[in-house]
A = this chain, B = another copy of it.
């Protein structure tokens, strides 16, 4: 049965569920904000669905739910944040204002988050930066589940990347995608339902092309989107997120040997550019022209607008959530193990 819950009430509930299950108040609040934002915006694959993963990772000791990020000004335009083996949400929250200040003062700045975990989408972070008037990129590495183009050994995660840009008089243009042809969650769902996948999603344990989701998940490998170009992008995301932040590479990940672990200890790079410095006064006008050219252009869309529409509805009428799912969150919030 479907229930409707307000954004504020869901935040309180998720925060309580995390607080009772190994997370400090600061981490619980930061993570709850992102989980609730995903439910609010209709991107459920990063919403309540992920809560069990957070609780499992803190519970088994793989991730530190009470981590305190430490900030280091490495250069006028570089902020390094050591997440202390915690999730990126709090690391980003703690570093955000300083990154924004650096980008405004220097015109260009980077935040390198190392020693960190990520179980959420990246749009949340770049959207916040674009709301401050900055153009922003985010790059994140992950568990080594993907082959490079033409390769036989898995060396990349499904490595997500995100981008956001301010639009005058409108919410930011925002996108977020994985460098893999299909997300791991979708492959898992297909395996559960016994459905075949399209060609090009992955290979089996012998490296042969397959449409069987189980063969990909059990010893097989995922493939990048877009052939060799997507593979080059996955490599670049890997470099930006790990080597360039001082974090572990996907191939250094040891989470497979830890029961309850779901994420790699890796890194995230965020770049922020002030378009007022680089683009000057015409920036807003050109963004309006470009967004206008996307609108009413076949089925092309302005990236982010579907989420904003869902958000508006959720803020007015509450978020519709499956009742059994909510009951499970309530049980966690009471300290029970559902």
Contacts and interface: CB of A to CB of B under 8 A. Distances in A.
A148 interface: yes
Interface string A45-81: 0000000000000000000000000000011111010
A223 to B, nearest CB: 12
A229 interface: yes
Contacts of A293: 153, 155, 249, 251
B110 A155 contact: no
Contact of A226 (B173, B226, B299, B300): B226
Contacts of A127: none
Interface string A200-220: 000000010000000000000
Interface stretch (A5-13, A23-31, A282-290): A282-290
Q: Mostly helix, strand, loop or mixed at chain A's interface?
A: mixed
Given A76-B76, A238-B290, A108 B271 contact: yes
Interface string A262-299: 00000001010111011111110011011001100111
A294 B279 CA distance: 37
B289 A249 contact: yes
A173 B244 CA distance: 14
Given A109-B108, A175-B232, A290-B238, A152 B75 contact: no
A300 B76 contact: no
Given A112-B279, A153-B293, A230 B232 contact: no
A171 interface: no
A107 B107 contact: no
This chain: copies in complex: 2
A68 to B, nearest CB: 20
Contacts of A152: 297-298
Contacts of A231: 300
Given A75-B277, A244-B278, A239 B297 contact: no
Interface string A135-154: 10000000000011111110
Contact of A290 (B165, B243, B275, B282): B243
A133 to B, nearest CB: 12
Contacts of A107: 74-78, 109-110
A105 interface: yes
Contacts of A290: 155, 235, 238-239, 242-243, 249, 251
B279 A246 contact: yes
A231 B298 CA distance: 14
The 9 closest A-B pairs by CB, nearest first: A226-B226, A75-B107, A78-B107, A150-B299, A77-B106, A77-B108, A151-B300, A243-B286, A152-B298
11 contacts: A74-B278, A76-B107, A80-B278, A108-B110, A147-B300, A235-B290, A242-B286, A243-B279, A245-B278, A251-B293, A271-B271
Given A78-B277, A107-B110, 8 more contacts: A77-B109, A108-B271, A153-B297, A165-B239, A239-B290, A243-B279, A244-B273, A246-B282
